[in-house]
Chains A and B, each alone.
Chain A
């Protein structure tokens, strides 16, 4: 499956990574070759093989519905770029 330039730009947009035209061309080249390598998978017949998401056939454990956390806002917001009145600030979002 050949990679289109537009698909590189689309992936960059979906992933929210700013790419200059130059970068995009460079990544297009690399990604194209990686996908070419990945395309070897298509040669393998996997009809009827169940996908494997986790290496062990384990199942989800459940935790009891208990409140175990206390307020650590100040502690956690020490590593935040911009906060005010306990809120994380971002550029204005228009709804």
Chain B
């Protein structure tokens, strides 16, 4: 059962092949056996999960089951969950038991899903390898020497390893798509504002967006149906109807116009990745799509602009961690400043401090115009690149990352780590949706094909991804997880 898709599991539950409780127990056992090696979970909430599974089985018995009732999943440890530790991968929140549920958590509960626990992540979602977590790095199930990607690395690894059929992630600069690519699963970053951010711990508010990570586009569509929608508690969430994202999955692709941004196939692109993406594009051509080259001329400026905007917002968003109302507090503070300085120095890890310092510096007097204002101007140009491209084509395609998963510990320099996000970051600046789907392997490590659409084009993206998955079986490949690993 652990290698089935969420859609298949939902059908099995409906058919009475297995109960939610049995499935939950099965997966909890698997986590117990395998996650010692992977480290993909920060907290496993077995008791709550079994309780929720039983409630789901009862609801099903009463004939009240919805599509996702009784389906197990996991939540990135960035989503506040009432009564459960919500650490955001940080020592700062190692003692933080959230007193409320994030909106998406409420929605998933209301839909009858069963959360097995909270997944590991880069600290405060700052990272591309899951190595900045206070709880240690996560390993890539395809190759234990490789990173799973980040920041939603725990979610990606858990799904890839069959510990859970689906998980929620968040994506600020690629944090759903890149780990999905590295772990060979499907991950969707919705349009900014499509999914409520309430209760999703903020990294960079104007870029953050939650989304599903699962084994197929169809799975993602089912999850998006539940979590999307306007939230009165989030001013930036969009008041716009939510379609049934599964409805158009089977629409044929004949006539689809695909654009290949030439900037996404330049220097630094791994040959194996390039080849896999090339093969994928051929599949699309065989499905009746036409392909042309397009240009996103400001691509090179996306990473510099991002590393002004995201740290600036983060420096302010993370000021609330001051050791007063929640979170880590240093011992024996001498005075208020000492309380702040030591609590924050002790509670935050190196990458978080780096970004807070950058953001503080670029916002400070005398630098604001040169950095922040400039970056926001460039942000408009980057968004315009996409809007122009979508005048000509329906979707854009390219690699989700320039290389397959790199080795643990390989990226020592922060700037070269940042440059890994070259194909994903501009998407967040523009606020458009993007999905990464498994498209083969470079060596034994998976390659992700990234598909981008214009604002609110999720239905189209899921359709395009699903049709690929009907024509290929990359998404069905599973890593060999020998249980002796643990």
Q: Using CB atoms and an 8 Å cutoff, list the residues of chain A in contact with chain B.
A: 1, 3, 7-8, 10-12, 14-19, 27, 30-31, 33-35, 37-42, 44, 46, 49-56, 58, 60-61, 63, 72, 75-76, 78-82, 88, 90-93
Given A55-B206, A56-B431, A58-B238, A41–B374 Cβ distance below 8 Å?
A: yes
Interface status of B264 (Cβ within 8 A of chain A): no
Stretch from B251-259, B356-364, B388-396 that touches the partner: B356-364
Residues of B within 8 A of A58 (CB): 193, 236, 238
**Within the complex, what minimum Cβ distance (angstroms) separates B233 from chain A?**
9
**Within the complex, what minimum Cβ distance (angstroms) separates A85 from chain B?**
16
If A11-B360, A56-B191, A79-B95 are given as contacts, then 13 extra A-B residue pairs at C-beta distance below 8 Å, sorted by A number, are: A1-B370, A14-B360, A17-B344, A17-B345, A19-B345, A30-B354, A30-B414, A51-B380, A54-B206, A55-B429, A55-B430, A88-B325, A90-B324
Nearest-neighbor residue (CB-CB) of B303 within chain A: A37
Tell me which of A33, A44, A53 contacts B378 (CB under 8 A).
Answer: A44
* Contact digits for B298-332, partner A, Cβ 8 Å, 1 yes 0 no: 10110111011000000100010011111101000
Residues of B within 8 A of A63 (CB): 232
A7→B358 CA distance, assembly (Å):
10
Total chain B interface residues with beta-carbon distance under 8 A: 76
Contacting pair A11 B304 (CB below 8 A)? no
Q: Using CB atoms and an 8 Å cutoff, list the residues of chain B in contact with chain A.
A: 95-97, 99, 191-193, 206-207, 232, 235-236, 238-239, 298, 300-301, 303-305, 307-308, 315, 319, 322-327, 329, 333-342, 344-345, 348, 353-354, 356-358, 360-362, 364, 367, 370-371, 373-381, 383, 413-415, 418, 428-432, 455
Q: List 7 A-B contacts (CB under 8 A).
A: A7-B361, A8-B361, A16-B340, A55-B207, A79-B96, A79-B97, A81-B327
Residues of A within 8 A of B323 (CB): 81
Given A52-B377, A55-B431, A80-B325, A34–B414 Cβ distance below 8 Å?
A: yes
Most buried by A among B357, B360, B376: B357
Residues of B within 8 A of A78 (CB): 97, 99
A33→B344 CA distance, assembly (Å):
24
Given A38-B308, A53-B376, A55-B431, A15–B344 Cβ distance below 8 Å?
A: yes
Contacting pair A17 B348 (CB below 8 A)? yes
Contacting pair B324 A88 (CB below 8 A)? yes
Nearest-neighbor residue (CB-CB) of B380 within chain A: A52
Contacting pair B377 A38 (CB below 8 A)? no
**Within the complex, what minimum Cβ distance (angstroms) separates A55 from chain B?**
2
Contacting pair A79 B307 (CB below 8 A)? no
Residues of B within 8 A of A41 (CB): 301, 304-305, 308, 371, 374-375, 378
* Nearest 6 CB-CB pairings of A with B: A55-B431, A51-B376, A18-B345, A46-B377, A16-B340, A52-B380
Nearest-neighbor residue (CB-CB) of B326 within chain A: A79
Contacting pair B430 A44 (CB below 8 A)? no
Contacting pair A81 B329 (CB below 8 A)? yes
Contacting pair B235 A8 (CB below 8 A)? no
A69→B324 CA distance, assembly (Å):
22
A58→B300 CA distance, assembly (Å):
27
Nearest-neighbor residue (CB-CB) of A33 within chain B: B415
Tell me which of A49, A55, A60, A72 contacts B235 (CB under 8 A).
Answer: A60
Residues of A within 8 A of B97 (CB): 78-79
Residues of B within 8 A of A16 (CB): 319, 322, 337, 340-341, 344
Nearest-neighbor residue (CB-CB) of B298 within chain A: A44
Residues of A within 8 A of B348 (CB): 17
